[in-house]
């Protein structure tokens, strides 16, 4: 069963993402603190990463994932403007990360399911 890691300080959204992921056949792990996530060896197939979090932001997480040469499929998420998502995606690609089209919050369950199903086909 593929594993998905969800990094988002909004627990309700993270739990909803985890539920949808589990329905789609993933084993889900949630981190509401990106620093806690980075303390661990990262062995996951998919990472849903919120770009705007307290203490440490998604840009720092992207840089750390790049340094570790992480191979997970990364889905960037933000409720802010599109330029943040686009800039973050470019940065992730420069680090050689496997980042796909970012998602703007709020996202529908249908969109999340479609993204997860398309990722699963590539794993």
Are the CB atoms for 42 and 72 separated by under 8 Å?
A: yes
Nearest to 56 by CA among 87, 30, 32, 40: 32
Q: Is the pLDDT of residue 103 over 90?
A: yes
In sequence order, the 6+-apart residues with CB closer than 8 A to the CB of 52 are 58, 78, 79, 80, 84
**pLDDT of 68:** 96
* pLDDT tens digits for range 46-65: 999 999 888 888 899 999 99
Q: Is the pLDDT of residue 81 over 80?
A: no
Give the integer Cα–Cα distance in Å for 44 and 110.
Answer: 23
**pLDDT of 99:** 97
Q: Domains in the chain, start-ordered, CATH in brackets?
A: 3-117 (3.40.50.2300)
Are the CB atoms for 31 and 7 separated by under 8 Å?
A: yes
């Amino acid at each position: 069963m593929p594993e998905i890691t969800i990094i988002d300080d909004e627990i309700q959204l993270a739990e909803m993402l985890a539920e949808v992921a589990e329905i789609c056949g993933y084993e889900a792990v949630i981190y509401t603190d990106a620093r806690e996530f980075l303390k661990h060896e990262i062995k996951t197939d998919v990472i849903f990463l919120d770009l705007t979090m307290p203490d440490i932001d998604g840009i720092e997480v992207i840089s750390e994932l790049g340094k570790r040469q992480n191979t997970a499929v990364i889905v960037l998420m933000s409720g802010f403007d599109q330029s943040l998502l686009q800039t973050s995606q470019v940065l992730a690609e420069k680090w050689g990360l496997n980042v796909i089209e970012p998602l703007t919050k709020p996202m529908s369950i249908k969109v999340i399911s479609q993204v997860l199903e398309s990722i699963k086909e590539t794993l």
